[in-house]
Every structure is written in C-alpha cells, then in structure tokens.
Amino acid sequence: MSSSSASPVVRRPFEEDKKFISRMESPRWHIDKGFVENMNVPVKFYANEKIMPAVMDELQQGFLPALKQLGNVASLPGIVGNAIGLPDIHSGYGFAVGSVAAFDASNPRAIVSPGGVGFDINCGVRLLRTNLTLSDVEPVKEQLVQALYDCIPRWGWLGGCRAGESGYPQRGSGEMLLFECLPRVSTFYVQQYGMDWSVREGYSWVEDKYHCEEQGRLLNANASELGTLGAGNHYAEVQVVDEIYDKYAAKQLGLERQGQVCLMMHSGSRGLGHQVATDALQLMCKAAMTRKNPIHLNDPQLSCAPIHSEEGQLYLRSMAAAANFAWVNRSTITFMARQAFSKVFKQDADDLDMHVVYDISHNTAKLEEHLVDGAVKQLLVHRKGRHSSLPAQPPLVASDYQSIGEPVLIGGSMGTCSYVLVGTHTGEKETFSSTCHGAGRVLSRSGSRRKLDYDHVTSELADRGVSMRVASPKLIVEEAPESYKDVTAVVNTCHQAGISSKVVKMRPIASGQGLSSDLPMAVE
C-alpha cells in the first residue's frame, strides 16, 4: 500500500548507522537527519544502559528496525519537533510500537496515518482498586480467578456468551459480538457516545467516566461507516500494591497501603479497530492515485492522507468511534469483574471500594495544543504503543488528580510487576506529554515458542505465587517474561528522564490470558 511512490530502504553497514546516533543527557539519544532519506526532523529516543543493547541489537539484525522506522516517520510532511521513541519501542506496521509523532494541523500538507495509531485502536489499560488485602484474597485466589474467567466472556477476543444461572454471562458455542452478551442495543450509540452510553445503561458508575482519558468519549465519532465489531481483551490480572514511591500521589489515587488488592485489565477494539484501519489504508491508497500533490513515502506502510482531506477526516471520525467502543468494552468488563468479586466475597462492589483509578489508551491520534518553537500550536499527536501523560493542573486531567498529574498505567509482561506513574511538565516539553506503555517485546511470538520451554515458564510463575488461567500452552510461552524487555528498566528510564514519575509498583497474584470458547486451562 502506498500514498505515492516509496523510496527503497537505505542499507548501510551497522557501524555506519551508529555514526548518526549520539548520546544526549542520559537516558536521551539523538539521531541526525540523513539516518534515512528525506528526514524533515531529527529522531529522539530514550534508553538506559539496560535497554540500549536490545535497541541496538534490533537495529543490527532487524529487517526494518524501530530506529529506522522512526527515521521514516521523521520524513512525513508536517511533522514538528522530533520523531520520538520511548524505551519499550520495537518495530511495528509503518510506525514503530512505542513511538510518538506530532503534525502541525495548520499545515495543509500535514498528515494523519493509520499506521501511527495501529490496528487495535484505543487498546488501553484500566485499573480498579479495592479495600481487600492480600490476606483476604489468598485463601480464595483460585476461586476468584475462576470466577473472573467465568464472568468475563473471554480473556482474549470477546466471544460467545449467554445469560447463565449464575446471573452473569457464560460461554456459548459460537462466535458472538460483545453486544450479544448485553441487552439489545444499537451499536451506533455505543460507538457514538462511549462511556456516556455505558453510564446511561447502568454498566458503569457515574464517577467511572471521570477517571477515563477524555472522560471515555472522543467527539465527532462517525459510526455509520464502520464495519464488523470486535474487541481485544488481552488480560485481566489481580494485583497487590508492592511498593509506594510517592505517598501523596498514591493517596490521591486511593492506593495507600502495601498489600492492597487491585484489578488491572488490558483490552481494546481489535476487530473493529482492525476494520477501521484496513478500510482507511485502502481508501488513502486509492485517493493517492489521483492526488495532485503526491506524498513521498520512505515506506509504503506509512500510507497516509492530509489531515483535512476527506479521507483524513473520515479516518479520524471512524477512529473515534472505534475508540468509544473500546471504552465501552473495558467498562463492560469492569461491570462483569465487579460481579465476580461480589460473588466471591459476598459484598457489593461499592462496599469493596471497586472504583476505577484510571483508564488510559495507548493507540490514538488526537488534536492537542502544545508549545512548538515558543508558540502554541494545534497538533495531531499520533501515539502508538504510547500513553498520554499530562502534567499536574491542566483542565483535561480529572479534577481529583490535577495536583499530581495524569495517572499512567504500565502493565508488565505476564507474571511480572506493573506500575502506576504520573505525567510531568518535562514530558509535556519533551515528548508531547507522552510516556511508555509497557515492557515492549524483544522476541516475536514464534521466536518465543522456539526458544522458551513451557514447563520452565510455568514453574517460574508458580514460584512467584501467580495463579493462571490460559487458553493454551503456547500462550504461556508467547507471553513469558523472557519475551519482553524488563518493564522495571523501561519505567526507570522514563523516571530518570523525568518524562513521567513513579508512584506505585504492583505485583500479580492471579492472571487470566488467552482466547478460547472452551474451559480455561489452569496452570499448576
């Protein structure tokens, strides 16, 4: 696919590539123009001494490594500042996963690119707190993780479910959409209104929406052009607070004591988002054939359109609708998870203090105001595998978090720790208020299956005291900690750079991952 003619990939020896890379104030790195052809701005990326070897190894061995992809993004028209890579960066479709790029909306040639958002639009993370402690959960841990698995239609893709005697959805035999698990509803309203629909229908508490990025709804959504529905629910994990770094911020978040039990979920709009992205890429390629002023691309996967073109605006409206669906997806999973906790602990979710701490996306493109060369500009900020991290005080941050900054939820790899961070003014200045979103893969899924041993991985999880429900043995290996960078090194890089600040570390005690309409497999 291409919006115009594409340049061949620049091939040069690794030692020559390294000459374009220079160290700035640690852990910052700079890549000069010329690293790839036609760069309009330099590249800036973040990596400490633990992360840098993996980044350079990919540059040396990868077919189209993340750093080269950042250079290609830097060549797109209308880009401002730098093309930015965060420490969990790895190669992706067009744009690297873990990248940020901002385009001047006042520039008629500035573009929007579906590859800069990704196929799972508004894939994101939600964190719920509870007033339970580890000692409350440990005796019923297996019962709880099974109840969550039974209650939530799928850990992976939301699939077949039906009303059961237990009072919440049960697995069915066929593939079904999320909305077949709910009362009859027009999907138009879900995609148009997002969390507002979820609150109205009783699947969310009123206060839930105020602890969501954008209050759980992107405006100007256009649901009428969208295709089939789907969602990705990558995991739901019971965690406990393990360390507190910032007591004041932790108190504001309601995460005040070690051993406090939380629930983290990671899901998105996978099927719907994939359809939106695929349709947009095809439309942009078709439009490019007749465009009077073609857009030069270093990589055909960067297929794009001017922001204010018909196809650019259509993509942004459709993307907003898919994002709204993803927020409803996570709110519906929250509804079901609250039921599961209530059943196991025989208390209402309200009595268990199961409030949403925050819900944040890592695959979006949004119009935002930022300071560029001393002037405030409206920019279309593409974040792919990248969280927003607004500093303290801006009106877009929930009112009860304005003294600490926007919460940032960082999920680790399976069985490893997760973090809560907050945004900073340094991040606002350097990364368009963006920070990392997770650990970042270092092994492909096929590579994980070749190199890792199922029994070894499950033994390690058992040693850590993590109860698991998965769909298949291969998923355990594909999502093993060895498949990812060290999430602590990723988070510490961002903390050291000052682009986000550590608040709380959590560790898992029970996790569900995978997709299957069959009974889950317990990992002993």
Active-site positions read: 437
The answer to whether the annotation marks 434 as part of a ligand binding site is no
Nearest to 91 by CA among 77, 114, 73, 112: 73
437 is an annotated ligand-binding site residue = yes
Query: In this structure, is the dihedral angle defined by the CA atoms of residues 148, 150, 152 and 158, taken in order, positive or negative?
Result: positive
Residue 370 annotated as part of some ligand binding site: no
Q: Is 362 annotated as a binding residue?
A: yes
What DSSP designation does 317 have?
A: H
305 belongs to an annotated ligand binding site: no
Q: How far is CA 149 from CA 175, 429, 495, in A?
A: 17, 42, 34
Q: Is 396 in a helix, a strand, or coil?
A: coil
Q: From residue 346, how far is each of 131, 147, 165, 214, 237 by CA, in Å?
A: 14, 13, 17, 34, 20
The answer to whether 439 is annotated as binding is: yes
User: Any residues with CB less than 8 A from the CB of 78 and at least 6 apart, and which?
Assistant: 103, 104, 107, 109, 110, 111, 307
Q: Confirm or deny that 149 is annotated as ligand binding.
A: no
266 is in an annotated binding site: yes
DSSP state of 154: -
In Å, what is the CA distance from 120 to each residue of 198, 267, 434? 20, 9, 18
Q: Is 425 annotated as a binding residue?
A: no
Residues 6+ away with beta carbon under 8 Å from 74 = 33, 36, 39, 40, 41, 42, 43, 82, 83, 101
- Name the β-bridge partners of 521: 470
413 is in an annotated binding site: yes
Residue 522 CB neighbour total at 10 angstroms: 13
- 438 known member of a binding site: yes
**271 assigned binding-site residue:** no
Cα distances (angstroms) measured from residue 503 to each of 254, 427, 479? 12, 16, 26
For residues 239 and 508, the answer to whether their CB atoms sit within 8 Å is: yes
Please indicate if the annotation marks 211 as binding a ligand: no
259 is in an annotated binding site: no
Annotated binding site for Mn(2+): 120, 234, 266, 362
Annotated binding site: 120, 233-237, 266, 362-363, 411-414, 418, 437-440
Annotated binding site for GMP: 233-237, 362-363, 411-414, 418, 437-440
